[in-house]
Amino acid sequence: MAGKHPYISGTTALIKCIEKFRNSMPPVINAKTLRKLSLASNNESYLINILNFLRIVGDDDKPTKEASTIFNAHPDDKFREKFSSLVSKAYNDLFDTHGQSAWELNLDELISYFREADQSTATVGRLQARTFQILSDLCGHANATQPISSVVLAKKKGSRAKAKAATHKSSIPKKQGKVGAGNVSVNDFGLTVRIEINLPVSDDKKTYDNIFKSIRENLIDA
C-alpha cells in the first residue's frame, strides 16, 4: 500500500470493527478473523494495516497489552479518553505539527497534510484523511459536519423506529361505520379497491375493445 498513513475505503468497516472489539477482543486478529466477523469484506488487508498502525494488533497477530486494557475500559467516556491517546500516539507526526487542533482539522486540511507527508495521490490522500476523521469521531472529537458513527447509529435507529411505527399502525383497529344509521364520517369509514388487469398480447383490436367494454359494463358502471 502506498503511503505511510493507513486508509480504507468506506466508513462502516472500521467503526464496526472497533465496536466488535469493545464487546469482545479476539485472541488472534488477522484477515481470517475479520472474514469470520464479516468485517471489511475484500478489504481485510487495509483494516489490518490500520490496526497494526494503531498498535491494536502486534506483529504476532495478537492484541497488544495496551490495546486489551483500552478496549476493556468502561464507560464510553473512559474508552474515548484512552483511545484518543492511542490514536494521537500513532499519528504523532500530525500532532507534532498541529498540536491538539489536529482533532479539529477539516477534510481539505487533512488531505493537504497527508498528501504532503506521504506524497499520496489525490484519491489516497482523501482516504487517509477520512480514515483519520473516523478515528477522531470514535475518540469523541467529531470534526465532520455530522459525526460518522452517529450517522450509522441514526440509520439503525431510524430503521427500528419505522418498523415499530408500521407495527403500531397495523395493530390499530379501523373504525367501521354503520350503513343506514345516519351520516357516516369519512374518518369513520374508508374503502379502497385495487383491481389489476393483465391484458393479453394480441394484434386484434376487437379483443381489446371487448375487454374494455366488459370493464365499463361490469366495473365502472356497476
Quote the CA–CA distance of 208 and 214 in Å, as a whole number.
10
pLDDT at 1 over 50: no
Average pLDDT for the chain: 80
Over the stretch 67-77, which tens digit does the pLDDT of each residue have?
999 999 999 99
pTM of the model: 0.65
pLDDT-derived band at 96, boundaries 50, 70, 90: very high
Domain residues of the chain, as ranges?
Answer: 12-153
pLDDT of residue 38: 92
Which of 188 and 76 is assigned the larger pLDDT?
76
Which of 140 and 144 is assigned the larger pLDDT?
140
Q: What residues have CB less than 8 Å from 120, skipping those under 6 apart? A: 2, 3, 114, 128
In the chain, the percentage of residues whose pLDDT exceeds 90 is: 59
DSSP 8-state assignment for residue 159: H
Quote the CA–CA distance of 166 and 88 in Å, as a whole number.
45
Quote the CA–CA distance of 37 and 33 in Å, as a whole number.
6
Reading phi first (left if > 0) and then psi (alpha if -120 to 50, else beta), residue 10 is in left
Quote the CA–CA distance of 203 and 201 in Å, as a whole number.
7
